[in-house]
Amino acid sequence: MIEFKKGEEVNLLGGASAKIENKLGQGGQGIVYSIRIDGKPYALKWYTCKFKDKDAFRKNMERNITEGPPDNKFLWPLFMTNEQNGSFGYVMNLRPKEYSEFSDILNKTVEFPSTEMVINSALNIVNGFRSLHRKGLSYQDLNDGNFFINVKNGDILICDNDNVTPDGKKNSGNIGGKPGYMAPEIVCGTSHPNSLTDCHSLAVILFKLFCRHDPLMGEQYVKSVCITEQCEFELYGKNPIFIFDPNNAMNRPVKGVHPNPIKLWPLYPDFLQSAFVKSFAEGMKNPNARLPENEWQKILVRLRDELLECPSCGDDLFLNHFPAGETIKCGCGHSYSYPLRLALEKYNVPLFPGVKFYACHTRGGNDDYTTVTGEVIMNKNNPSLWGIKNLSGDSWFMTPENGEGKNIENGSIVPIVANLELQFKETAGKIIKVKGGQSGYF
Ligand SMILES: [Zn+2]
């Protein structure tokens, strides 16, 4: 394939033309260039690979362009080009420079400023694929090269959407996936990519994000002195064993070789660990046991709720490390009383300074995890007094255990005391005390 040179023109379907600027990168399927159309900057992916059925691939992409992206997290194909030099390409928006490649985050070239941003990006990745699957589409090639993440706020962009195909249909780009991300049934050749194999790849992405390691790379991998194709088939296809499978200790991470999962896994609450166990132990053999995106979303919102920040030094503290009812001691020397919780329909949120409420907590039936509706604050003059500040724009109504109820307008504060009932616009909650010995969750 001859590469385009700067200044060369590529004709788009419909008559416009694009001017080549620079080569941005190269992958298995093609080359990505920065281009300009009517002076405006875009990216062009130009295919250098051979297609089994080029017409079907083009037709699928034309349909995706007509239907548009599932939401604004996708760098979706915008225009296709005419055939030129025996191939073709498509135009998409350029990645803004504040978005980093996921692989750069995994190799620590780029780091998140806080655990909250790791969770926010996980939520956004999950929600992006939720939107895609809700439209009846499957991604088919989910791996660490498909995301860009803004580590400052957890925003994400999903790229390489050219293999997106209606669920159940094989993509005509003949893509099976990237080793390490493919579901075992694809590795074994018993299934084509679909939305359930996407769910496996998604769980791998999340595991890598939280534990910085491959979920199947443990003792068995280390024992295979030389990783051959046959050996990969065995470890990732025929006999995959999750490194933290509670019922199979054959493939545990190895001390001195796999420090990340050994250090990170124990930090997370049991409900996150269980989600990975379900995805990788049960879900390896039974694709229907893999967690769907809406389940992941609930788990990640809950994880964000349980992540407390020391009001004094700003260190992250996962509440699960403190026995229920006991004092929370931070490494900086400050201590805090064990938080009461706000029991809501779907969540049970610890009331600790800095914890935020989102629309998914305080608006019934809503799963919006980005709109802040309240925040737990600490009284500056008396740090032992904590309250929930109403930031929802709605009026709430509180009823203390003994005493008159009253309206809590936007900007006002609800005192955090046990047994106080709170009526939000569409749902209700009650402040409860977690007794010692209880997990704190229903
Ligand atoms: Zn501290």
Query: Domains of the chain (ranges plus CATH)?
Result: 9-92 (3.30.200.20), 100-297 (1.10.510.10), 310-432 (2.60.200)
pLDDT, tens only, 217-254: 999 988 886 677 788 888 899 999 999 999 999 999 99
The pLDDT of residue 194: 86
Structure confidence at residue 172 (pLDDT): 62
pLDDT at 214 over 80: yes
Residues 6+ apart with CB under 8 A from 45: 29, 30, 31, 32, 89, 90, 92, 162
Give the C-alpha separation, 163 to 161, whole Å: 6
Alpha carbons 337 and 352: distance in angstroms, whole number: 9
CB atoms closer than 10 angstroms to residue 382? 8
Measured between alpha carbons, how far is residue 303 from residues 4, 122, 272, 300, 393 in Å?
47, 11, 7, 5, 25
Which band of pLDDT confidence, cut at 50, 70 and 90, is reported for residue 440? very low
3-state helix, strand and coil shares in percent for the chain, rounded to the nearest 5: 30, 25, 45
More confident residue, 349 or 321: 349
C-alpha to C-alpha distance for 352 and 341, rounded to whole angstroms: 9
Inter-residue contact 4 to 46 (CB < 8 Å): yes
Quick one: which H or E segment has residue 180? none
Measure the CA–CA gap between 417 and 398, rounded to whole angstroms.
11
Centre of ligand 1 to C-alpha 311, Å, is 7
Å from CA of 332 to ligand 1 middle: 4
How far, in Å, is the centroid of ligand 1 from the Cα of 352? 13
- Residue 442, pLDDT score: 35
312 alpha carbon to ligand 1 midpoint, in Å?
5
Residue 438, pLDDT score: 46
State in Å: Cα 378 to ligand 1 middle.
15
- Give dist(CA 300, CA 298) in Å, integer: 5
Given a cut of 80, whether residue 216 has pLDDT beyond it is yes
% of residues, the chain, pLDDT over 70:
96
**How far does the centroid of ligand 1 lie from the alpha carbon of residue 151, in Å?**
23
- Cβ 242 vs Cβ 251: under 8 Å: yes
CA distances to 65, 379, 386 from 382, in Å: 57, 5, 9
Question: What type of residue is 45?
Answer: K
Ligand 1 centroid distance, CA of 314 (Å): 6
pLDDT in tens, 114-130: 999 999 999 999 999 99
- Please tell me the distance between residue 337's alpha carbon and the centre of ligand 1 in angstroms: 13
Both tokens assigned to 198: 């996407």
Per DSSP, the residues of 336-372 read EPPPPEEE-SS-EEE--TT-EEEHHHHSTT----SSE
Q: Distance, CA 361 to ligand 1 centroid (Å)?
A: 27
User: Distance between CA atoms of 259 and 180, rounded to whole angstroms?
Assistant: 19
Rounded distance, CA 358 to CA 368, Å? Answer: 7
Average the pLDDT over each of 75-79, 193-197, 402-406 and give the range with the smallest value.
193-197
- Give the H/E segment covering residue 89: strand 89-92
Is the Cβ–Cβ distance between 303 and 116 less than 8 Å?
Answer: no
* Ligand 1 center–CA 208 separation, angstroms: 27
DSSP run (H or E) holding 275: helix 270-277
Rounded to an integer, the average pLDDT of 94-111 is 94
Q: How does residue 441 score in pLDDT terms, banded at 50, 70 and 90?
A: very low
- Produce one character per residue of 136-166: b if its CB has 16 or more CB atoms within 10 Å, e if not: ebbbbbbbbbbbbbbbeebbbbbbbbbbbbe
For 390-420, how does the pLDDT look when each residue is reduced to its tens digit (9 = 90+)? Answer: 999 999 999 999 989 999 999 999 999 999 9
CA of 309 to the centre of ligand 1 (A): 8
For residues 126 and 237, give the distance between their C-alpha atoms in angstroms, rounded to a whole number.
24
The pLDDT value recorded for residue 224 is: 83
Predicted pLDDT at 408? 98
Length of the chain, in residues = 442
Ligand 1 centroid from CA 435, angstroms:
24
Spell out which residues have Cβ within 5 A of ligand 1, the ion.
Answer: 310, 312-313, 315, 330, 332
**Residue 137 pLDDT exceeds 50:** yes
How far does the centroid of ligand 1 lie from the alpha carbon of residue 206, in Å? 28
Q: Which whole number is the average pLDDT over 81-108?
A: 93
From ligand 1's centre to the CA of 336, what distance in Å? Answer: 10
Query: How many angstroms separate the alpha carbon of residue 329 from the centre of ligand 1?
Result: 8
Distance CA 421, CA 159 (A): 45
CA of 441 to the centre of ligand 1 (A): 25
Q: Find residue 318's DSSP bridge partners.
A: 307
Reported as a pLDDT band with limits 50, 70 and 90, residue 24 is: very high
Q: How far is the CA of 383 from the centre of ligand 1 (A)?
A: 14
The answer to whether the Cα torsion of 432, 433, 437, 440 is positive or negative is positive
380 Cα to the center of ligand 1, angstroms: 17
Distance 145 CA to ligand 1 centre (A): 36
| Rounded-to-integer distance, Cα 262 and Cα 51, Å | 43
Distance of alpha carbon 289 from alpha carbon 282, whole angstroms: 6
* More confident position, 416 or 49: 416
In 3D space, the residue among 164, 217, 438, 194 whose CA is nearest the CA of residue 324 turns out to be 438
Compute the distance from residue 212 Cα to the ligand 1 centre, in Å. 25
What average pLDDT score do residues 135-148 get? 86
Task: Tell me, in angstroms, the distance from the centre of ligand 1 to residue 334's CA.
Answer: 6
Is 250 strand, coil or helix?
Answer: helix
Mean pLDDT, residues 80-85 taken together: 91
pTM: 0.92
The pLDDT assigned to 1 comes to 59
* Å from CA of 318 to ligand 1 middle: 13
Can you read off the two tokens belonging to residue 210?
A: 């939280």
CA dist., res. 304 & res. 119, Å (int): 7
The residues facing 80 across adjacent strands are: 90
Q: How far does residue 322's CA lie from ligand 1's centre (Å)?
A: 14
Say if residue 289's pLDDT is above 80: yes
pLDDT of residue 437: 45
Residue 323 above 50 pLDDT? Answer: yes
Q: How far is the CA of 327 from the centre of ligand 1 (A)?
A: 13
Quick one: pLDDT at residue 175?
63
The rounded percent of the chain whose pLDDT value lies above 90 is: 72
